[in-house]
Structure 1
């Protein structure tokens, strides 16, 4: 304790002074501190290893996370500036932020640091969903301008309003940049605005408006200034404070005022000069005000026209497709049927990649050489239409390197076609359970696949603009690109959750036997923890190379992989059940960790299963302390080839819930409106 106090008194202030030059601003809350080598510090180190990777790999350069149990839980949020094109620069900035925050705010359990390229906050309090933006820093930059204050301030106001509108309404990253011509003593003004990408456009615009109201008080006539906040921030300068070309280019707010006050030379009598000067000043104010109003109205009109044009391009303008109905607010490019017929050889049998209950998938190539996968839904299938709606609404708004990318859609001549990026290695199921192809999946590839699925699932659960439950995560719905990077696909059964929604109860159970958790099968309850259960099954299948449930035939019952793994886990012989191809002794610790994670994910109680952010923290840290798993959840067994006994068993447990399960690896979409 004495050494700790000496460290805080003598050493920490000196170290903090050394690093403070790299930190623009910091906000330290010393009301609650942690001790060296404590559980809180260990949880903080976990986040410091995962958040830089998660943020730099996300297209929004944004990440949140939580680690540890109360009272030592650490919540953290980080965001890189929207023009950061170098992922390593973003990751380095966040990594340094974790180090510097612990120096400038030594042992504080709540700290915020801002840099040029990124910012970070961690705390013992769960602030991640808070709308509070009061922890902000006001930084005036440079000297006063020589131009008239009213003219310059009006020009800055117009530019910031335009950039804020673009960031809030036109950018998925919630980031905008702009330049404005200004010919009164200053050639150009530059500005940027940014919000957290997980907030709604209206909330982003409202946040920026609030921090812009303080501009006259702190930045009037200043050559530059910035306000830093956790939810939103902006900056303006007489030089570009961002990299690359600005998105917006505005003309000067007024063209009839080109001479500053200091150069005006009125003539005549003193009273007449004063009257003339006063009249000119009033006219100047009126002209400036009119110019600002005109510029604002012009920009608003332009935005409205763009909005109308985009609205006309959205899918709801296609009402003539039978029971299509209405589709929520999405915008996609459309491909015509003729182009897709040429791309797939008129849907030739040789180009067919697979076929399921919804229809077939074909390989194709667009005129520019881009390879695509075309999902052709069966004509007249209401099941296919429901799946199409779900996928368009959800996948169109998801952009992550571990989620399959939606390229386009085609609705012509009663055809319903969804176009995805092409995955050369097909699905994980095709390789993992093939005795010949699985030899190519060494431990390095398998761990990369597990890690990628975990990141993609965390994105759809926590980091995307939408909160989505997949409900059908399985090996056949994980696609692999040419480098065996995994991408989650098939969102036909997915459900969208509200921001504060945690669980839903349904009377119609759908999914694939072996991947569905017991609370869903028996009671119809599903949540993010349902996907966590499916992820756990996937992890155990990847480690062992075996399916969780065997196929039905007249003599064989369902063999539960989880039962077998639990038996080896309790005996301490878990490596005996691992795929014999994973023979590297250097991978044994990681294999045990992954099995441990898998068993934690398939526990019977959803509350006991970890979140995907916690799973990612464990996967990307060494030697993390894990709680002991409980016995895996119950899964129905049957000895009949007929699926009816299983349906009856599930309904008897669920009080009459109607359960539809897939026995052949294909999903079955529920036939009710979403």
Structure 2
């Protein structure tokens, strides 16, 4: 009887333990399927959003929550009402410039400091991405020849980027505006070219990862009160190597776009070098990148200048009248040679921006950041 009772007790214990194990497994199985079901539901909703496309408002709403955009930089979010007050409700009298992206306004903040506010219509996904791209990149950059980011703001489907104020506007305005380059002496022009090359070298060589600006032009080179030049407008900038994915739309400005990028979509740092060469030609001749002459169709500055850059007898005569006969001819020929190399149709023939930089340093006076002793 004792033996039978012990066997019965043992059998009950084993059955109870087995039942507990089976019950536990059932609970775990049910929990797993519930979790998987919830995850699947989230993925389905996410896929549905991708198929429909995020609205710009939700895109900017997500971006609004980002305060620290990078480990290196910090982008301050400004309340829209502060900007509205600082610009007198974006009054036309405060407009500094107008471009394809929108308008730039002068704003005076409550502490008395003045800044520039770029107002971007982000009604399309592409525009929203450009806004995010520019704020994200500028928050990482730390260089004296790249515009400083003060902050950003978002209101409905409109994005605002706040920069340091550049008192002398853009190089385009100085060269082709009412003053027609009268404020830009030869050495000041060389200083602007040197500053621009330094900014590009930082992007191409020193920033990690390397960056291609993709929209370098005279209107995106801004000048402070001392005519120090800084690169701006990084909405189209890309990480070097990202273009190999073949998912980039052709972007840029007519007259500055390198031929290999325009024709076959090949984008490298040499594309920026080509655009720099065009800016250098603008500084030399005071002409726009593309001009419409009364007796001829539109002609690019590169097409017009190429045959003239090697003619030493003609070159001094076709310079911008503002700087004509104000420089050592030897220096003029050196700058013309650099410009000619930068705008070569074959990208492999163009120099690296570092080589351009070292070519310009001896042509800029010491007091302006070069090594030339006047």
Secondary structure in 2 aligned to 1:515?
Answer: coil
The residue aligned with 1:581 is 322
On the 8 A contact 2:186/2:326 being kept in 1, the answer is no
The residue aligned with 1:519 is 260
The residue aligned with 1:322 is 58
Q: Residue 387 in 1 paired to residue 123 in 2? A: no
Secondary structure in 1 aligned to 2:252?
Answer: strand
Secondary structure in 2 aligned to 1:453?
Answer: helix
The residue aligned with 1:474 is 217
| 1:537 Cα deviation from its structure 2 partner | 0.6
Deviations 1:42-72 (A, max 9, x none): xxxxxxxxxxxxxxxxxxxxxxxxxxxxxxx
The residue aligned with 2:280 is 539
Compared CA separation, residues 546 and 503, structure 1 to 2 (3 A): farther
Deviations 1:10-50 (A, max 9, x none): xxxxxxxxxxxxxxxxxxxxxxxxxxxxxxxxxxxxxxxxx
On the 8 A contact 2:69/2:139 being kept in 1, the answer is no
Deviations 1:205-262 (A, max 9, x none): xxxxxxxxxxxxxxxxxxxxxxxxxxxxxxxxxxxxxxxxxxxxxxxxxxxxxxxxxx
| 1:413 Cα deviation from its structure 2 partner | 4.6
Compared CA separation, residues 525 and 375, structure 1 to 2 (3 A): same
The residue aligned with 1:608 is 349
On the 8 A contact 1:426/1:479 being kept in 2, the answer is yes
Q: Residue 509 in 1 paired to residue 250 in 2? A: yes
Secondary structure in 1 aligned to 2:59?
Answer: coil
Q: RCO (CA 8 Å, sep 6+): is it higher in 1 or 2?
A: 2
More strand by share: 1
Q: Residue 332 in 1 paired to residue 72 in 2? A: no
Compared CA separation, residues 323 and 533, structure 1 to 2 (3 A): same
2-side partners of 1:472 and 1:528: how far apart? 12
| 1:528 Cα deviation from its structure 2 partner | 0.4
On the 8 A contact 1:506/1:524 being kept in 2, the answer is no
The residue aligned with 1:402 is 145
Q: How does 1:435-450 map to 2 (within 5 A)?
A: 436-450=179-193
Pairing partner for 2:299 from 555, 559, 570: 559
Secondary structure in 1 aligned to 2:141?
Answer: coil
Compared CA separation, residues 576 and 462, structure 1 to 2 (3 A): same
2-side partners of 1:578 and 1:470: how far apart? 28
On the 8 A contact 2:87/2:105 being kept in 1, the answer is yes
1-side partners of 2:177 and 2:97: how far apart? 16
| TM-score in terms of structure 1 length | 0.42
For the aligned residue pairs, the C-alpha RMSD in angstroms reads 2.5
Secondary structure in 2 aligned to 1:375?
Answer: strand
The residue aligned with 1:458 is 201
2-side partners of 1:599 and 1:410: how far apart? 42
Q: How does 1:416-427 map to 2 (within 5 A)?
A: 416-427=159-170
The residue aligned with 2:172 is 429
| 1:411 Cα deviation from its structure 2 partner | 2.2
Secondary structure in 2 aligned to 1:510?
Answer: coil
| 1:382 Cα deviation from its structure 2 partner | 3.0
Give the unaligned 5+ runs of structure 1. Answer: 1-318, 623-674
On the 8 A contact 2:143/2:199 being kept in 1, the answer is yes
On the 8 A contact 2:258/2:271 being kept in 1, the answer is yes
| 1:342 Cα deviation from its structure 2 partner | 1.4
Compared CA separation, residues 391 and 574, structure 1 to 2 (3 A): same
Give the unaligned 5+ runs of structure 2. Answer: 1-54, 364-374
2-side partners of 1:518 and 1:395: how far apart? 28
Q: Residue 360 in 1 paired to residue 100 in 2? A: no
On the 8 A contact 2:167/2:224 being kept in 1, the answer is yes
On the 8 A contact 1:504/1:526 being kept in 2, the answer is no
2-side partners of 1:393 and 1:403: how far apart? 14
Compared CA separation, residues 409 and 329, structure 1 to 2 (3 A): closer
2-side partners of 1:504 and 1:563: how far apart? 32
| TM-score in terms of structure 2 length | 0.74
Secondary structure in 2 aligned to 1:364?
Answer: strand
| 1:506 Cα deviation from its structure 2 partner | 5.2
Pairing partner for 2:121 from 362, 378, 395: 378
Compared CA separation, residues 436 and 621, structure 1 to 2 (3 A): closer
